[in-house]
Amino acid sequence: VGPGDDAAVVTTGSTTLVTTDSLVEGIHFRREWTSARRLGRKALSVNLSDIGGMGGRSLYATVSLCLPPDLEVAWLDGLYDGLLERAGECGLSIVGGNLSAIDGPIVIDVMVLGESARTLLRAGARSGDRIVVTGTLGAASGGLALLRAGLRLSDDDTVQDVSGGARFSPADQAILAEYLRAHLDPAPPIELGAALARVDGVHAGMDVSDGLSGDLLALCTESQVTGVIDAAAITPPAVADLDAWGGGGALERALHGGEDYGLLLAVEPRALDEVRALAAAHGVAIADIGLFAPGPAAVWLEREGRREALPPRAHQHFGPGTPRRA
């Protein structure tokens, strides 16, 4: 039973996964930076990433919208085009939701239900496991820097410079478009998480959404191990420097930039080949970037033979200026 009754009625396996994530105008997106269609796709993708990070398969979604009354209906149509397009790509059904007026910014709150045979928890990483990530770390954060610098991505994937300048050469078009797309329309691996959860040697997993440094620390905390990242394993050739665009160095972005929506895994060395083969079969880039070691929950970066502490630098919704509980 889909939309139209008081609640939707669905069937899942014995284990139901539940996640919810919001996109808030002014915080997570700006209307002048994205088409409504791309935003609809992203609103679903950020939740698909969480279900994939648990080793699950996404099945159903509800979409709860708060919309200012002067919003054009065409914008809402575009949003739903994107939601339905993305839902179709991963065999998910939108079974219900809610619609409310708001005297303020647009809020898109999506909840996704999934199922899993075996769940990938953050707890479970063992000393000796390899730190494995999928996707291109830092690309989404680079895309955000490009948007701030005045670049835009049209719906046919051409890059435009609305700052008035013409600061990039046609040769850079493809790579800039890739960064912008990583931010505006992220593509978390949809089926790989469920496939990896079936591999015995994959001990723990989560998605990378708040930046590698913070997410790896979260995994280390739940697993009570120390994570040691090898800088040389992430930097080249994964991401290029975007210094010229205010995007910072590639390593910086890869370590702390948010919204990567890849998988972060703890993999027993003997299972690495099987994990690599599964990633290849799903067309997903994968990298072995370090080691889980015995020790307290912490993350270290190894660079040119030296080991330094790597404190997290994730986005804070409620910063130091905000009154907090003692």
Site for a second copy in 279-318 (CB under 8 A): 317-318
Q: Report in angstroms how near the CB of residue 70 gets to a second copy at its nearest.
A: 7
Q: How many CB atoms lie within 10 A of CB 62?
A: 18
Answer for which of 11, 156, 164, 165 binds a second copy (CB under 8 A) is: 11
Position among 39, 44, 66, 234 found at the interface with a second copy (CB under 8 A): 66
CA angle 38, 42, 48 (to 5 degrees): 145
Give the H/E segment covering residue 157: none
Contact status: 132 vs a second copy (CB under 8 A):
no
Write out the binding residues for a second copy, residues 72-91 only, by CB under 8 A.
Answer: 72-73, 77
Please pick, from the candidates 31, 84, 107, 191, the single residue that binds a second copy as defined by CB under 8 A. Answer: 107
- Minimum CB separation of residue 18 from a second copy in Å reads 5
* 170 touches a second copy (CB under 8 A): no
Q: Which residue has the tokens 């910014």?
A: 105
Confirm or reject binding of residue 260 to a second copy (CB under 8 A): no
Using the rule CB under 8 A, is 99 a contact of a second copy? yes
* Stretch of 47-55, 78-86, 169-177, 301-309 lying at the interface with a second copy (CB under 8 A): 47-55
Question: 265-294 burial, b for 16+ CB within 10 Å, e for fewer?
Answer: bbbbeebbebbeebbeebebebbbbbbbee
53 interacts with a second copy by CB under 8 A: yes
Task: Say if CB 127 and CB 296 are below 8 A apart.
Answer: no
- Of 211, 243, 221, nearest to 298 by C-alpha is 221
